Structure 1
Amino acid sequence: MEAAGQWALAFPAVDRLKFVALLRGSQWMLLPERPPQLLSEGDVCLIGHTAYAVASDPDMTPIDGLAFYASPGCDVARIGGDDTIGIGGTVTFAGANADFLLDMLPEFMIVPRSSPGSGAIATILALMGSEIERDRMGGEIVSARLADVLLLEAIRAYAGLVGQTEMGGLGALSDARLGRALHAIHEDIAHPWTVAQLASVAGMSRAAFSAEFTRRTGKPPLTYLRAWRLTVARAALMRGNTTVARTASEVGYTSQSAFGHAFRRAFGHPPKSGARS
């Protein structure tokens, strides 16, 4: 996006992890139920599945931002000049996993240029800006790979800035105690885990483990386990190389009927959708 003067663009929520970075100038990031956040040159923010707006003035009423990208192949919005230049992109997760993975991350992460660990981000932004300006053969491929690295570095920098406790479920994976329990779940999803067993793996009392796990991931331990089982099952069924009965067993359900009921409650349709009979 290249913009100058007064402007404000709104964008809807999508099941993707979005990033916005400023190469020049400044702009306001506006999210529901959050105070406006000023993004300056060199800053990066990551946005989960929530609607948002970008603006030159936080008091302006945004218009539909997607309209500026409506033409086929259009990937640049130009509004009155280039005092502010921003780039943005998304990481698309497999459809079966988007909600679960996005829920593992904070809804909004901003990494200022001045924050520790932002040196790599500055280098990547400079390279991306150079690719955009040169418009040379293969530039889209290079920019896409740089965007992948930018996202990873931004998440790393944000974690270093706020600490693991503010990183949601992703931060819990890095926690010495909760991480052991999460790794145990992920490595043996079919095991009939109990809260007491997971607490023992974590080296915590049952009550303390349950409270801390829920606070950090947003779900009680067995609710997390059930959601992860169904997420893995849906991904397997969508690949189409398995059966419902086999999938149910592989994710820890001893009854295909119980699996079917849980799947329907979670996703609104029976598990046979997209699977081989």
Structure 2
Amino acid sequence: MIYARNARKSSRSDQALDKSSERHKTPDPLSQVFSLLNVRAARCTRFEAGGNWSYRFPAKPALKFGAVIRGDCWIDFGDEAHHRLATGDCFLLANAPAYVLANDQRLAPEDGMAAFDWSQSDVARHAGSDTVLLAGSFGFEASDAGLLLDALPRFLLIPSRSPSAPVIHSTLEILDLEIRGTGIGAAVLTDRLADVLLVQVLRAALDQSAGEGLGWINALVDARIGKAIRLMHEDAAQPWTLEALSEAIAMSRSAFSKRFKSLVGLAPLDYLLRWRMRLARDLLRRGATVSATAAQLGYSSESAFGHAFKRVYGHAPKRYWRGQATGEKFPNASNKLS
């Protein structure tokens, strides 16, 4: 809060309200990661089928979601991994492998992409609507896609019996109406609803995973490690040390380091470095100068910042900055929150 020079001094309650407001305005770590990844829904579709059917869909290096609105079917990955899908089930496919959707596994699968005219409609139909599925995919900044995809299992199922299923189902109902409807702004709404659905499914997955199988995402909901990550995200320019972080979350240095690395896959200060450089790359993309970026992230000189940037991305920030205007392609750094 900014006061005029002659205004009264703020009271402690005013200051507390200001600080509380600032905390509420600070996005949580997952929201910040989503923002930097520029997560966006690519397309949402509806699939209706009756009778006996089986369709094969190709592998796609993307994040896809699917949900059964009516009926049931099988999803088969061709390596003896197949799962029964029932009404109300929702699932994610990370780095989506080739798969078959079918209600009769004895049938030879048809080509799911060739069987329907996806260019003309977001609704595909086959002999009725005994079974109805919604599906969609998400796009990312290409060099950052692995940050989220590598943290997720190939197939993540949120069953209809999950405590989170009613909330997800509410979003799916609205999404279904928009896919089938012709109202103005339908494309905007389907994109936003897909974004909401993705976060809801990840929340449900965290609730049911008990801290297993979701990579660094699990760390965000760990009481102490999650707090440490929030501190680093809220003030990346702060000269954090291992001692300061461990004291802030009431853990010993050794216990903190061990637990952090087991959940995140990186040592705390290595994570901090990579988070700063991801922020730096975003600032450079948006036109910030190297010197301004260095100062904003707490570096005492362009040289110190340049060494840190090159350590993570393998090239100097000035080259990256100039390359944005020419469309130059840069090698990707490690996707572990790099």
Q: Look up the match of 1:86.
A: 133
Contact 2:242 2:268 in 1 (8 A): yes
Map of 1:89-168 to 2, 5 A cutoff? 89-94=136-141, 97-103=144-150, 108-164=155-211, 166-168=213-215
1-structure distance, mates of 2:314, 2:259 = 26
Q: Tell me the residue number matched to 1:213.
A: 260
2:276 equivalent in structure 1: 229
How far apart are residue 246 of structure 1 and its match?
A: 2.6
CA distance 1:44–1:265, shift in 2 (3 Å) = same
The one-letter amino acid of 1:201's match is: A
CA distance in structure 2 between the partners assigned to 1:128 and 1:107 by the alignment: 24
Shift, 1:237, TM fit: 1.1
| Aligned equivalent of 2:36 | none
Aligned-residue offset at 1:137? 4.4
Does residue 250 of the first structure (1) align with residue 296 of the second (2)? yes
Higher alpha-carbon Rg: 2
Query: Which residue of the partner structure matches residue 324 of structure 2?
Result: 274
Task: Look up the match of 2:313.
Answer: 264
The runs of 5 or more residues in structure 2 that have no matched partner are: 1-46, 327-338
Tell me the distance in 1 between the aligned counterparts of 2:194 and 2:157. 16
| Deviation at residue 181 of structure 1 after TM alignment | 1.0
Give, as a single letter, the amino acid of the residue that structure 2 aligns with 1:250. Q
The 1:256–1:209 alpha-carbon spacing in structure 2 relative to 1, beyond 3 Å, is: closer
Gaps spanning 5+ residues in structure 1: where?
A: none
Where does residue 47 of structure 1 map in the other structure?
Answer: 93
1:8 aligns with 2:47: no
Asked whether the 8 Å contact 1:18–1:88 carries over to 2, the reply is yes
Give distance in 2, aligned partners of 1:151 and 1:94.
17
Relative to 1, partners in 2 of residues 1:203 and 1:35: Cα closer, same or farther, differing over 3 Å?
farther
Residues matched between the structures, number: 273
Cα offset for 1:247?
1.9
Aligned to 1:21: 67
Q: Offset of 1:196 from its aligned partner? A: 3.4
User: Normalized against structure 1, the TM-score is what?
Assistant: 0.79
User: TM (normalized to structure 2)?
Assistant: 0.66
* Pairwise CA distance, 1:225: 1.7
